[in-house]
Amino acid sequence: MKKIILLILLLMVMNIESQEYDASPCYSGLSLIGRPKYGTVYSEFLIKNSEKLELYEPVSEDYPNYYNSWASSILKADTKSPQKYKGFSQGEGNPKLLNPEYVKWSCQYSPSSLIDKDPRTAWSEGVPGDGIGEVVIVRIDITKPIKIWNGFGRNEKLYKENNRPKKIKIHGFVALDCSPAAMSFASYSRFRYMDSYEYELSDKNSYQPLTISNSILKKYYNTKDELVSKGKGESFCNFSDEVLSFLVIEISSVYKGSKYSDTLISEITN
C-alpha cells in the first residue's frame, strides 16, 4: 500500500514538473518577420510580406513574451530587475527556471502593455532617435468605437518628458487563418492587407478617439462576408464572431519629449 501511495505522489510531482514555466524574456529590437534592408519603410515591407506573418497571442498574462513579435522594436526594461531565476528544472542538463516576474519585468515596454487596460503602462519603440517608421500591432474590433491613450500615461511628468506620436499611419489587416488556443497561446496567420490612412493625434494625457477609415471598414466587412460564405475549410477561425481585424500603427511624427527621445503609446482599446 505504501508503495502505491509513493508511486502516486511521484507521478503527481512529475506532472507538476512537466508544467514548469517555460516563457522567455522580452528583448529589444525584435522584428516581426525580419528587419528589412536599410532604407526600406517597415510598413511597406510588412504589407508586401503579410501572408508570411504569424502572430502568437498568449492566453495568460504570465506569457507577455509572445507579444515580442507584435512590434518592430521594443525598449529595453530600465527599472530595477527582479530575481532572474527561481530554481532548477529536473532532468537532463538541469536548466535554471526563469522567474515569471522577471519575464514580466523584461516585457514592460512590449505590446502587451498596449492592451492591458492600464494607461500607467505603455509600449515603447526601442530604436535610437524618435522611432519614426517603427510599428506596433494590435488585434481589435474595428467595427466598434476605438480609443487610444497617447504617450506615457503613468503621470504628467513622464508624459511630458517622453515623446508622444503626433501623426501616425494606420494600416488595416485581417487574419484569414487561425489555430485554437494551445496551452499558452493562440495563433493568427495568412494576413490580408486592407488599406492605410494618415491620422493625427492630440497631445493630451488621456483617452481620445481613434476613427477607422470607411475604406478599411468596407473591405473588412466584404472580407468577412466572403469568408463566412466559403465556410471554415481547414481554418479554426470563427469568421462570424471572432475578432480577426488587426491595426498596424506606424509612427510618422512626434510631439518631442523634454528629456527623452523614446516614443510611447499607453493603450488602444474598444
**pTM exceeds cut of 0.85:** yes
For residue range 227-256, what is the model confidence (pLDDT) as tens digits?
888 775 556 787 777 899 999 999 999 999
Within a domain: residue 56?
yes
Tens digits of residue pLDDT in 56-71 = 999 888 899 989 889 9
Whether 84 is covered by a domain: the verdict is no
Whether 255 and 163 have beta carbons less than 8 Å apart is answered as: yes
Q: Per the domain annotation, does 155 fall within a domain? A: yes
Question: What range does the domain containing 118 cover?
Answer: 25-77+94-269
Q: Considering its fold, how many domains does the chain have in total?
A: 1
**CA 70 remoteness from chain centre:** 4
Q: What cell does 263 get? A: 516614443
Residue 18 lies in a domain: no
Mean pLDDT lowest for which of 37-51, 68-82, 147-161, 211-225? Answer: 37-51
Question: Reading across the β-sheet that carries 207-209, which strands appear in turn?
Answer: 123-124, 264-269, 147-150, 207-209
Residue 111 lies in a domain: yes
pLDDT digit string, tens, across residues 68-89:
889 999 999 989 999 998 876 6
